[in-house]
Every structure is written in structure tokens, then in C-alpha cells.
Structure 1
Amino acid sequence: MATTLHRSLPFRLSLPLKSSLTPALIPRNYFSFSAMAANATSSAGDDAERIEVESDVKVEDNNNDKKKKKIFVAGSTGRTGKRIVERLLSGGYGVRAGALDLEKARSGLPQDPGLQIVRADVTEGSEKLAEAIGDAEAVICATGFRYSWDIFAPWKVDNFGTVNLVEACRKIGVNRFILVSSILVNGAAMGQILNPAYIILNVFGLTLIAKLQAEQYIRRSGINYTIIRPGGLRDEPATGNIIMEPEDTLYEGSISRDQVAEVAVGSLCCPDAFYKVVEIVSRSDAPNRPVVDLFAAVRQS
């Protein structure tokens, strides 16, 4: 188990939490989500793939329970996105799962009456994404670009794709947005510009900088956001407990994708997670604390 060092640093992003420039929206089912927050428990809880939307969104027929709170997951067939879908379904949520490859989604995601699979592409603009989001009440973004010769891929997916999702939410009145990002996105301001992880992750099209720009857009948008910055992602089950710190604090460490999914789903209805940026890794010597308590202990700068 990797030992994680962390420290508080004076560098912080000084961006507005809400924008006076954005038009006022009446959030879809805002009050129902507020009521859910009072009953939220810690048991609810990247490399995710980009998604693609066609002009006619294709939705699989199923007997989805319309009474369930429905969440749209972007990047649902990725290694983190798949775990988020599974945790949502096990927690009683309905899920609209965005996937580039519908066959992969059908074979890889759980067979569940609460699951709808839609074809979508975050790079194709907010209008089509709004169709894909449909009647979902919140969005969890776990997308990530595919390695290729296209040096602009990180910007198309991790930056502009995320912006498109936010704009789609604003168009249809969805006011809850959770982003799975990465530690070290603000590494230059943290004094970590020579950190090997910062260098390696920026080799492919300045990936971390693209993610940081997307984060800044979210924070200016006025949407109710939670930005989760995990350390290095592991496919293996968790072997330690979650450590959660404020933004621009952690500069090394790793975490199981299962735990990232736990935090993402747990943040949905947790008031202490609203309008907050957190960083997470795991350590074997960390105490086992509920997700809601972890969020409550972090103060947004």
C-alpha cells in the first residue's frame, strides 16, 4: 500500500462559486434533492470513456421505476464510470448511462430495470447532450480522453466535453453536477511543476491543464457542483481508508476506483459536498470515516 504524504499549501484558486453573469434557472427537482440530503447516508457511495450522442438518442427499453431519482453518468463504460453506475443502482437510483459503444455497455454494465443506456458524445455539443441527459436530476462526469495521435484529445474531452455537459445541464435545469478530476491539476500553482506525476500527466496534450480549465468553468457556471480530485487510480479493491483534503493539498498517493465511486455517489445529496473541491487518496493507517463526515471536515477556501 502506497504511503501518501500530504500538506496544506497557501495556493488556492480564487474563483467565484456562483456567477452573476449566468441566467437564473429553476433547478429540476431542486427541493426533492434537498429533502434527500437530510436522509443521505455514507453507504451510498478515470480513465472513463468519452460518450457519443446521435441526433435521435437511443434508449434501451426497460421497466425503469419512474419514482427513483435518476442520475446521468457520462463515461459509464470506463473503469471508474462502471463502478459509479453499479453503486448508484445498488443504492436505489435510476441511471441513464452514457456510452460510446452500446454493445460494450450492454455486456459490461449490470442487467438492471433501473438502467437506461444512451448513446452520446461529449464533444458534439450541449444540445445533443441535453437529449441524452433526458429526465435525469443530476450528472456525474467520469469521462477521460482515449490515448491517440490526436494531441488535442484531452482538450476535446476533458475540457470542452465537460463544458458541453455543464451547458446541457443549464439548458434543461439540472442543477447538480459531480466531476471526477485529478490531483495535481493545479500543480504549477502548488509548486509541483517538477513533480514527475505532473510532468507525465501533461505529456499527452497538457491533460491536467485541460482538466483545470474545465474545473474553473464549472465553478463560474453557477451550477451546484462537487469536484473530486482522486490520486492515482487503482483497479484493485480498497486496502486502506479514504483521506479527503481541500483543493491543492495532495501531490501524491493512490486510491481504489471503488472508493472514488463511493465518494462520487455519496456526494450527490450531501449538503457538505455542495460547491466544494476535494482531493482524495487512501492510506492503510487512516481511520474509517463515513463519506458525509469526510466532506463535513473539509472547508472550502
Structure 2
Amino acid sequence: MAVTPLFLRNSPRTLWTQHSHHSRLPTTLTTTPKTSRSLSFNSTKMEASEITEEVTENVSVKKKIFVAGATGSTGKRIVEQLLAKGFAVKAGVRDLDKARTALLNDSPDLQIVKADVTEGSEKLAQVIGDDSEAVICATGFRPGWDLFAPWKVDNFGTVNLVEACRKLGVNRFILISSILVNGAAMGQILNPAYIFLNVFGLTLVAKLQAEKYIRKSGINYTIVRPGGLKNEPPTGNVVMETEDTLYEGSISRDQVAEVAVEALIHSESNYKVVEIVSRTDAPKRSYKDLFGSIKQR
């Protein structure tokens, strides 16, 4: 039976919005408190006329993750899942008014900041700040008449984020990319999805160049390449493969966000490129097992 190419199963709008070494971190991020600073009185003793107050420190400080593209269809899901997992989030957005509408969450652990990846690494470093311990890049260009937009956002914008991390000593970087970015080398140059996504500004080529930059940067990375993105809830389990393996298939954005967040938690994801789709007949596997099954190249 003929299989419809993965990206052609979605609307054109869905296609375009889908993608929209100084280590100071351990290789795995958890929400374990890293410092305890606030004071609380836990007992008062009276002996004769003397009162002794015992003071202890017992307040957790959550690890903060910077999310670029936080108001995008995938980015906002990443923000929600990070908060649900107990992380603090600094949401980098271009439009603060849009962010207040898109990120309907009054959590004290959510901070919304203005950030444009195309404006250079110096400004990004100021926004990411010393309090961020990892960066997740979920940006994607907006289709229009500017054929250089994919390169400005998906290539140079990602490079700017990496350089900002290097300036700050942030040593954990998660990128949401796409399957078929290396389609030419896979023998998929005539794949309709590969052709379609490269028509406007060579989008996949721009993403691939950004991936190569990350891999040479020395930063601990996880590059997540999802198949065609769906806004609907998951209908199957995650299938994870090594790079340049998958050339069709789709996946819910909720699962893509979950993979990005779980990559922060499991050291098995370090320095790896993973390709993901969802299949109804796939067995349910833990993320530790999924990441662990992928060999580094």
C-alpha cells in the first residue's frame, strides 16, 4: 500500500510552523535543590531566663531552563511540561503581549523575557543570564517573502544561542530540529517532503548547518528530530531512532515537548541526535531506555 509522505499529511500551515567548554552543570539536570538560603525558626527553648533560638536553612531553589521560541506551538508545550516537572522557566519571546496570551500560566516559576535570536549572541547572553542552567531551542521562522528567513532564524539564530551559552558557561543545549534535514545524504533528495520544505529558503539545509555548528561547539547537546508535527494529543508511543534513519511518520507536539524535557533528566541523551515519530503499534518504553538505545556518532 502506498504511504503518503509524512509532511504531506498535514496542512501547509502545520508544515511551516513545525520547526518553527566551560562546564558548570552536571550532565543530567534534575530538580534537586542546589542551594538552601531562606531561614526559618524551628524551635525555641527556655532554660531559666535564657531563650535559645535554633535557625535552620530549608528552601529549595529550582533549576531554571531558558526556552527560545516559547510561544510557538511546540515551545509553549515545552514550557508547560518543564513547569509540571518542577523546573523554573525563563521563556524567551519576541512579542511580550502575545506571550501573555499564549502562556496562560500564573506559576511563580515562569518568567517571560523579550528575546530575539536574530539580534546576536551578546543580547541573548544578557537575557539568558547567569541563572539559566540549560537552553532549549524551539524556534522556527515565519513563512513570508523573505527567502533568507530560514537562515536568519534556523541557522544564524541557533548559532547565536550557542554562542550566548558559551559566553555564559551554560553547558546544556537541546535543539528541536526535523527529520530529513540530511535528506540528500540519505538518498531522499526526491522525497516530496524534502523538496517541499526546501522550496522556501532551503529550510532543511539551514537546520542541518546549525546542527553541525552545535556538534562542533563542545557544548553537551541533544538534537531532537521529530517527524511531521500534529497538534492533536498522542495516539501512539514514541519511536526513537538514530540520525538519518527516519524519512516518514508523524508525532504529536506534546510528545516532542516531552522528549525535550526528558533529555534534560536522562544523561543517556547527552551528545546525541535522535529522530522520533509516533506509532500505534510501538511498545511503551521508558525514556532512559529510548535514549540509551541510541549510539553516539
TM normalised by structure 2 equals: 0.82
Between the aligned partners of 1:250 and 1:166, the Cα distance in structure 2 is 26
2:150 aligns to what? 154
Confirm whether residue 253 of structure 1 aligns to residue 249 of structure 2.
yes
Give 2:222's match in structure 1, choosing from 204, 210, 226. 226
Structure 2, unaligned stretches of length 5 or more?
7-20, 33-58
Instruction: Quote how far apart the aligned CAs of 1:101 are.
Output: 1.1
Q: Which has the higher contact order (CA 8 A, sep 6+)?
A: 1
Root mean square deviation of aligned Cα = 2.1
Give 2:170's match in structure 1, choosing from 168, 174, 192. 174
1:125 aligns to what? 120
Higher share of residues assigned strand: 2
Structure 1, unaligned stretches of length 5 or more?
7-23, 39-64
Cα deviation digits, residues 191-233 of structure 1 (max 9, x gap): 0000000000001100000000000000000000000000000
Structure 2 counterpart of 1:206, which letter? L
1:51 aligns to what? none
Cα deviation digits, residues 80-134 of structure 1 (max 9, x gap): 0000000000111000001111111112212211000000110010000001111
Between the aligned partners of 1:99 and 1:37, the Cα distance in structure 2 is 24
TM normalised by structure 1 equals: 0.81
Confirm whether residue 93 of structure 1 aligns to residue 87 of structure 2.
yes
Q: Aligned residues, how many? A: 254
Contact map agreement 2:30 2:63 (CA 8 A) in 1: no
Q: Percent identity?
A: 72
Confirm whether residue 115 of structure 1 aligns to residue 110 of structure 2.
yes
The structure with the largest alpha-carbon Rg is 2
Contact map agreement 1:4 1:281 (CA 8 A) in 2: no
Cα deviation digits, residues 254-301 of structure 1 (max 9, x gap): 000000000000001311100000000000000011122110111122
Q: Aligned pair in 2 of structure 1 residues 272, 3: CA closer, same or farther (>3 Å)?
A: farther
Instruction: Quote how far apart the aligned CAs of 1:36 are.
Output: 3.4
Give 2:197's match in structure 1, choosing from 189, 197, 201. 201
Contact map agreement 1:241 1:286 (CA 8 A) in 2: yes
Contact map agreement 2:239 2:277 (CA 8 A) in 1: yes
Between the aligned partners of 2:28 and 2:144, the Cα distance in structure 1 is 42
Between the aligned partners of 1:3 and 1:176, the Cα distance in structure 2 is 37
SS in 2 for 1:137: strand
Contact map agreement 2:31 2:63 (CA 8 A) in 1: no
Instruction: Quote how far apart the aligned CAs of 1:34 are.
Output: 4.1
Q: Aligned pair in 2 of structure 1 residues 265, 4: CA closer, same or farther (>3 Å)?
A: farther
2:11 aligns to what? none
